[in-house]
């Protein structure tokens, strides 16, 4: 009996954390959570598989938004793509015709951390005529930093914020991402090879990464604030994204997601720093919020190395 009781105690200690984790996961799934969808690199992102056009990609994305009832989805624009890929002309008009807004991602996706501020400002401003033409008096003055680079020094960070304030911009931070961009090139390679099994594997790993990222961001927010913030999800307008989008949006909804606009999400007090001109102690990512509180930042495992090897 003494041995049996000892085993019971051991099993209880081992199982209790698993039960607690399962209970927390079930509670998260049942709790509504606000997510703002945002898409970078319009009108053209990454490689295309054979027989698919940029207009096809946009059409599939927009159909998925409509069917899921997402409401307005901001597309962040790099105008240079219309010069590099004339076939992408029309994507922005299609996006707007479906009722979705556009905003600035700089003309050529210029990295602030590796370019001078004056050059970066010129690239930002060069994009504005295109946005003004498509948005026609509506709000397009949101900026998504290319590469999420906000300046490699505190001085440059502050100067960039002052510059954006002078131009009337707000910053679109990112609080949820699973590196969706990394699936688009492998998908194109696998379609060229006609490898259906590899494409199915890509679909499964994409959806798993998205679910893992959702759980990850929610755990960080719960640790920091005891609640869900309203999340801003970073996506890209790629062909594989479009292929899987209906299933992706259903996964989010099955896990309690309510899709909201970027404006509504950014009303959450977490994003207060996005409206300030100076560098502040307020973090703009959940990971940096964890670091600011001296908390260890868990790792989100994503299969980038495996994706790079696919269909070579």
Report which of 179, 139, 162 is spatially closest to residue 266, judged by C-alpha positions. Answer: 139
| Whole-number pLDDT of residue 208 | 98
- Direct distance between the N- and C-terminal alpha carbons of the chain, in angstroms, rounded to an integer: 60
pLDDT value of residue 280: 60
Low pLDDT (below 50) residues in the chain: 1-26
Distance CA 228, CA 215 (A): 11
What is the CATH code for 31-309?
A: 3.20.20.370
Which pLDDT score is estimated for 28? Answer: 55
Sorted by where each begins, the domain ranges of the chain are 31-309
For tokens 């707000």, the residue is 170
pTM for the structure as a whole: 0.89
**Residue 274: predicted pLDDT:** 84
Q: Residue 22: its pLDDT value, please?
A: 43
Measured distance CA(164)–CA(130) in Å, rounded: 18
The pLDDT assigned to 273 comes to 84
What was the pLDDT predicted at 126? 98
Q: Which of 107, 110, 145, 158 is nearest to 232 (CA)?
A: 145
């Amino acid at each position: 009996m003494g041995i049996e009781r000892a085993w019971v105690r051991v099993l209880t200690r081992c199982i209790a954390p698993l039960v607690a984790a399962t209970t927390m996961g079930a509670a998260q799934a049942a709790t509504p959570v606000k997510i703002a969808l945002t898409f970078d690199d319009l009108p053209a992102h990454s490689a295309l598989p054979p027989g698919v056009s940029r207009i096809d990609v946009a059409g599939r994305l927009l159909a998925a938004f409509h069917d899921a009832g997402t409401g307005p989805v901001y597309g962040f624009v790099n105008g240079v793509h219309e010069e590099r890929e004339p076939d992408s002309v029309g994507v922005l008009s299609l996006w707007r015709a479906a009722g979705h807004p556009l905003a600035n991602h700089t003309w050529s996706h210029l990295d602030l951390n590796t370019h001078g501020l004056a050059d970066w400002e010129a690239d930002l401003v060069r994009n504005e005529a295109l946005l003004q033409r498509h948005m026609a008096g509506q709000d397009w003055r949101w900026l998504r930093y290319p590469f999420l680079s906000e300046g490699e020094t505190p001085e440059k960070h502050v100067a960039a914020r002052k510059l954006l304030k002078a131009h009337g911009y707000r910053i679109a931070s990112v609080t949820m991402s699973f590196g969706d961009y990394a699936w688009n090139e492998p998908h194109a390679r696998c379609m060229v090879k006609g490898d259906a099994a590899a494409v199915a594997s890509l679909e499964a790993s994409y959806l798993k990464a998205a679910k893992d990222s959702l759980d990850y961001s929610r755990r960080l927010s719960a640790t920091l604030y005891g609640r869900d913030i309203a999340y801003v999800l970073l996506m890209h307008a790629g062909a594989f994204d479009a292929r899987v989008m209906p299933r992706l949006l259903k996964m989010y909804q099955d896990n309690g997601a309510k899709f909201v606009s970027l404006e509504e999400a950014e009303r959450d007090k977490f994003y207060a720093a996005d409206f300030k001109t100076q560098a502040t102690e307020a973090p703009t990512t959940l990971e940096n919020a964890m670091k600011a509180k001296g908390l260890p930042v868990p790792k989100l495992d994503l299969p980038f190395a495996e994706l790079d090897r696919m269909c070579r």
